[in-house]
Amino acid sequence: MIRKIVNAGGIVLALLLIAATLGWLWLERSWSRWDRPEGPLAETGYQAFTHGAFGLEALPVKYAAVIDKVSAPAFTTTLEDGRSPWRTYGFITDESGKGGDSQLCQSNAENLLPHGFAVTNYLPQRAIQTPLKFAALTCASCHSGRLRTAEGLSETITGMGNPELDVIAFGDAVRNAVLDPSLTAGKIMDAYDQACPNDRTGFFTRQVEKLVMSAWLSGIRSQTGSETGKYGLPYHGAQMKDAADIPAGPGRTRPFRSIVRVALNLPGEENYAYSKIPAVFEQRRDLRPRAQYDGSVRNPVTRSFIAVYASGASVLALSKPEVAWDVRTAAAYTEELGLSIPVPSFAETFPKHLPDPTQVEAGFQVYKTWCADCHGYRPVGGGQWVAEGRWIHRFDYLDGRGGGPKLGVDPARVTFRYASLLPLSIWATLPGSGPAVAAQEQRLRDAGAAAEKAGEPALAWFWQQQLDGFLLAKRQYRLGHPLYFPACPSGQADCDETKLLASAPPCSEDDPQKCQLTDEVAYYNNPVPELYLRAPFLHNGSIPNARQLINLEPRPERFCRGENLYDPDALGFVATEPGPDGRCDDPRVAFLFDTTELGNSNRGHDFPPWDPKTLTDEQRSQLEALLAYLKTL
């Protein structure tokens, strides 16, 4: 009898376990349900750009709502000066007062999280969808900004780089927070319940949320902890704004340090390739055939993939249909942003600072003499950018090869260690299908063999590691990763992918222009539409405004960055001077930008090559006219 009961109990238990597993799988399907948005590009593209899922989940929303309560030491910089943690890091928060007093909760997260944060169900890295909501970065977190003038703040402008965003410091704050041994899912949930008492969920959902949050915390803590050998311990407190500790500062990133770490699994600490967060206007291929300041990427989708991959999105997350669609759609949006999708012009943003039309006309002639060869031009009175010029869409080599104009700007962006390993490694990160996957495998093998032959055994080992990773990924993405490149556009039957492979790294083409990814020691000449939204200038953001860029004024050697005011007359930011002690004591502009530091040089790009200290009246007049014309771009 007992045996019978035990066996019957076993059967019931087994059936319950099967039912529970099936139930979970059914719930997973409902959590991951996604319908492709439909509508015009301006609408769906904007949605993807500002609210899409990109695999950049930062924190559970419930945690984001109480970071100041449960993780204050991790997020506090001591330089808040009354600002919220979000704003201290430069995120765009609602300062209108409309929602200023409202507590961020899961129910209002879409409205109260800073601009550019999406709410998704994806668990970071693993990209599994659960009922736990995450606050996730989107393109708009970095590529949207506001101009802060004496009169107040402008509207949020989509597509410009956020000049105040301290994204590396924010990353360190998150790493600090999750490493806190006393932080638990229970502590977060309890704090959240207190902060948002009306935002209760059902018993089952709460238990699942707590379980998932616990798993997330344990996973991210373990991952962050294991990576301290490569990333070091995160900085905290006032170090967050100290250039000696986090040298990128507001409005800048270290994209190649990141990509070296994630794509090559090598340390990037000695990488000084600082980059301002770029504007992403008018990226259409005919106007901008190669993306990035160094022209290293040919395709806008690949550029977007690399951006989110370097920012921490996993290859797995990027394979999810929703994420891949968002990457493609956001890339397409940037191609049209400023063209068919309007961007506010200088005149619309600063109607009281309109340049004199006569000066604009005169300035256009100066521009044609000194700038148009490399950048093309926009006709006076408006119209589409004319991408014509002797040196436009050309690589400008640092060693003068090719005969282009001598730029003389900081070289660190294109001369860092491991740069030559990136094109093939990045290409092989996303296994293709058909002939592409075989070519990827073969080229990785060839790279290993070449390293061996060249007497570089460690490099041969590196390529073996890359190959092992590729072979595993190849098994994971049997049909090819949805973002692999170069790929034939869907529906184009006469396209032959085998032919496209000539443009894949290492390129067999002699002309790097045709190559999907390059590591040329050069900068690339592209148009500069919406120039007033591109300050600070040069790729490393070392020149605060256009007056200084064109040498109408001396370029400051040291200045303070943060919430700098925008000066429409100077077409850029006011370079706040450091105090007598050489420090930036105002907590709102606390970062000291020192152009004598590695990677920060503000030298070069002297067109016209006039010394601002010895300008003649004629030269000054020409430069004033040029500045007037630049305001119309």
Partner 1 sequence: MAAAAPQAIRSIGRREAARLEAVSVTLLLLAVGFALAMFGGLVAGDADFFRAHASAWVSALLATPALSVFVRRFGRAPLGDWWRLFWSAGWVMMAVHLWWGLGALHQWDAASVFQRQGFLVAAPIFLIQAIWPLDVALAWTRRDWARAAGGYRWWQALAGLAVFLTFFVSLVVFRNDLESLVLGLVQAAAVLLAGLLRKLDREGAA
Which residues of this chain interact with partner 1, rule CB under 8 A? Answer: 3-4, 6-8, 10-11, 13-15, 17-18, 20-21, 24-25, 125-126, 128, 215, 219, 316, 433-434, 475-476, 478-479
- In the complex, minimum distance from the CB of residue 570 to partner 1, in angstroms, rounded to a whole number: 51
- In the complex, minimum distance from the CB of residue 163 to partner 1, in angstroms, rounded to a whole number: 37
CB closer to partner 1 out of 35 and 618: 35
CB closer to partner 1 out of 48 and 437: 437
State the Cα–Cα distance between residues 242 and 299, nearest whole angstrom. Answer: 36
- In the complex, minimum distance from the CB of residue 292 to partner 1, in angstroms, rounded to a whole number: 30
CB closer to partner 1 out of 458 and 493: 493
CB closer to partner 1 out of 265 and 415: 265
- In the complex, minimum distance from the CB of residue 393 to partner 1, in angstroms, rounded to a whole number: 38
How many CB atoms within 10 Å of residue 507?
Answer: 19
CB closer to partner 1 out of 102 and 222: 222
CB closer to partner 1 out of 14 and 598: 14
CB closer to partner 1 out of 165 and 208: 208
- In the complex, minimum distance from the CB of residue 321 to partner 1, in angstroms, rounded to a whole number: 10
Tokens 């003038």, located at residue: 149
CB closer to partner 1 out of 25 and 150: 25
- In the complex, minimum distance from the CB of residue 106 to partner 1, in angstroms, rounded to a whole number: 22
- In the complex, minimum distance from the CB of residue 476 to partner 1, in angstroms, rounded to a whole number: 5
How many CB atoms within 10 Å of residue 379?
Answer: 11
- In the complex, minimum distance from the CB of residue 32 to partner 1, in angstroms, rounded to a whole number: 10
Calculate the dihedral angle through the C-alpha atoms of 62, 67, 71, 76, rounding to the nearest 10 degrees.
170
- In the complex, minimum distance from the CB of residue 17 to partner 1, in angstroms, rounded to a whole number: 4
What tokens appear for 183 in the block?
A: 């932080």
Amino acid at 319: S
Closest CA to 192 of 58, 83, 69: 69
CB closer to partner 1 out of 37 and 435: 435
State the Cα–Cα distance between residues 448 and 423, nearest whole angstrom. Answer: 15
The 8 Å CB, 24+ separation contacts for 295-299 are 295/395, 295/518, 295/520, 295/522, 295/523, 295/524, 295/526, 296/423, 296/517, 296/518, 296/519, 296/520, 297/516, 297/517, 298/503, 298/514, 298/515, 298/516, 298/517, 299/485, 299/486, 299/516
What tokens appear for 450 in the block?
A: 């070449």
CB closer to partner 1 out of 13 and 495: 13
- In the complex, minimum distance from the CB of residue 3 to partner 1, in angstroms, rounded to a whole number: 6
Sequence-ordered list of residues with C-beta below 8 angstroms from that of 170, at least 6 positions apart, any chain:
89, 91
Q: How far is CA 459 from CA 12, 81, 259, 420, in A?
A: 58, 49, 18, 12
CB closer to partner 1 out of 41 and 316: 316
State the Cα–Cα distance between residues 132 and 188, nearest whole angstrom. Answer: 13
Q: How far is CA 146 from CA 20, 90, 155, 566, in A?
A: 50, 10, 6, 10
Q: 90's torsion region: left (phi>0), alpha (psi -120 to 50) or beta?
A: left
Helix runs in 139-289, H state only = 139-142, 167-179, 185-195, 203-226, 228-231, 255-264
- In the complex, minimum distance from the CB of residue 207 to partner 1, in angstroms, rounded to a whole number: 15
